[in-house]
Amino acid sequence: MNPVRDWEHMHLTKHHGLGNDFLIVVDPDGVETVDASLARRVCHRHTGIGADGLMHATSIVAAGDGRWSCRMKLFNPDGSVAEMSGNGIRCFGQAVLGHLGVTQGHLDVTTDGGPRRLDIIPGPEPDSVKVRVDMDSAKPGPDLASGWDTTGVEPLGQVGVDMGNPHLVVLVADPNAVDLAVVGPMIEAQYPAGLNVEFVRVTGPDVIELKVWERGAGITRACGTGACAAAHAAHGWGLVGTEVEVRMPGGSVTIELGDPIHKTGPSAFVATVEIRTGDQHG
């Protein structure tokens, strides 16, 4: 007798925010198994689909007048759980609205880093949206790393910032001169819970350049919470005003400092993906 394949299938969408890419499972009834094992499998760049994170959208409820509420869970590529992602939540918003069949609206999102409000409108390109996110307030972050090896790096200032997830913002003369692959994990290893590390410089009036090492993901092309943390830090150092353009390898976002901080940037739909999740039975 030939074996019978009894496969279950899961549908995901892939999106990117400034090159920071995410796979998203929209699951209103919470019936899909989305966990660390799945994240490691699908996010792997060589043996999986490839992404900077896996997101799970559940508990989607209509509130009327173009507004919905929902729940977001985010897994890093290594399977660890992240409280928040500023780029990821824009992708998340686009995926949820796409599932609902609309191109604009408002989402109240419950995350492990606290509640976030998204205002979403169509973007300038097909399959793109522009998202303004209420990122909550910047709070004091982790204590500074004591005695980290600054070989090859000359910090001009550094400060810990909490944006619902932990950051260390380091002011340097040139972020491009920092070997992120070496310095990023070295600093992160000093924090038991890990953290994101941003190397920044001010390049013009209210303009910041940023390169980032992300906890659980490594070097990425952009970091939304990192952009907020960097703008907050630079404003505290007296280097920028209250509306800041943050330029990253993947592109730019606009940060409006205040209580709360707002971040505006794009999300682009990439593809719909179907994966097999079941087992073979004989």
Q: What domains appear along the chain, each with residue ranges and CATH number?
A: 4-136+266-280 (3.10.310.10), 139-259 (3.10.310.10)
**Nearest C-alpha neighbor of 78 from the set 120, 35, 119:** 35
pLDDT in tens, 4-22: 434 588 999 999 999 999 9
pLDDT in tens, 126-162: 999 999 999 999 999 987 755 566 666 888 999 999 9
What is the C-alpha separation between 213 and 166, in angstroms, rounded? 12
Burial class (CB in 10 A: 0-12, 13-18, 19+), 32: middle
Q: Confidence band (pLDDT; 50, 70, 90) for 201? A: very high
Provide mean pLDDT across the span 200-225.
Answer: 94
pLDDT at 240: 98
pLDDT at 247: 97
- Contact status, residue 161 vs residue 232, Cβ threshold 8 Å: yes
pLDDT at 106: 98
Q: What secondary structure letter does DSSP report for 241?
A: -
pLDDT at 75 over 60: yes
Q: Is 261 helix (H, G, I), strand (E, B) or coil?
A: coil
Q: What secondary structure letter does DSSP report for 28?
A: T
Better-scored residue on pLDDT, 189 or 10: 10
pLDDT at 6: 47
Q: How far is CA 173 from CA 152, 154, 205, 210, in A?
A: 11, 8, 16, 11
Percent with pLDDT over 70 in the chain: 93
pLDDT at 147: 55
Model confidence, pTM: 0.87
Provide mean pLDDT across the span 19-42.
Answer: 95
What is the C-alpha separation between 78 and 215, in angstroms, rounded? 10
What is the C-alpha separation between 154 and 151, in angstroms, rounded? 8
